[in-house]
Amino acid sequence: MNTFLIIDGLNLVRRIHAAQPNENDVNGLPERVRSACSKLLKTHAPTHVVIVWDGDGISWRKRLYDDYKKGRKPMPQALANALNDIKKCLSEIGINSINAESEADDVIATLAVKVAQSNQAIIVSTDKGFTQLLNPNISRWDYFNQTALTIEEREQKLAVDRTQFIDFLALAGDSGNKISGVPGIGPKSAAELLKTFRTLANIYNSLDKIGAKQAKKLEEGRPLARLSYKLVQLQTDIALNTHLANYRVKQSTPT
């Protein structure tokens, strides 16, 4: 069985860059990213590796909901200018790139699901949204803490079952991406509702069994729950227009 290492490019690079005291300082950044990726290759010994980058296009989520990721700090210009050098540096050690049209997340999810049909996929990212990919052949790795991000830990943190992650976020929202969920329904209430009714659909089919105050919030927030449910889901059917063989690790790749 092959092992595909799928690196969330900007998730890795932006955090490495953020450790610099000056955001305009990108001296040595390509080498630091190269060193990090070499460490990943040594740690996981994959048969294949790819790094996926966000593109400049407007994502389908932004088109659907204008406040999506509203207020997020833009990438420092110096870092944006250094990306080509970083990609070139990684290419020199055999790590090729895929450039997404907009968000990398859906491309990464599509790659992982495709790979996991018959191989192992390891997603290198601190984005906990990837825990909604429940195939046992997909795992997640936090480079900065050098630890796996497990579905079990996510279940414990949210106090819901793994099959309820999307329903939970549809209710409680995702503050990191400015996805609202249902106003007035926080994480604790969302978890309690799902413990009782199991699914978002069952909750909305059972408003007559819920306290009047909470039922009113749910009814008024129904359109936002529906919207949030769509926004938090990863697409896993993006057209990749590439061959996975292009990302096979060369035996001579430095580690």
Proportion of the chain in helix, strand, coil states, percent, rounded to 5: 50, 10, 35
Give me the CATH topology for the region 3-153+234-247.
Rossmann fold (3.40.50)
Residue 133 CA neighbour count, 13 Å, CB half: 29
pLDDT at residue 252 in the model: 53
pTM of the model: 0.95
pLDDT at residue 196 in the model: 97
CB 106 within 8 A of CB 61: no
Domains 3-153+234-247 and 155-232 share a fold: no
pLDDT tens-digit series, residues 45-54: 999 999 999 9
Six-digit token string for 205: 């089919």
* Boundaries of every domain in the chain: 3-153+234-247, 155-232
The average confidence (pLDDT) of the chain is 95
Long-range contacts of 108-111 (CB under 8 A, 24+ apart): 108/6, 108/8, 108/52, 109/133, 109/234, 109/235, 109/236, 109/238, 110/235, 110/236, 110/237, 110/238, 110/240, 111/4, 111/6, 111/50, 111/52, 111/240
For domain 155-232, the CATH superfamily is 5' to 3' exonuclease, C-terminal subdomain (1.10.150.20)
pLDDT at residue 255 in the model: 41
pLDDT beneath 70, residues of the chain: 251-255
pLDDT at residue 20 in the model: 84
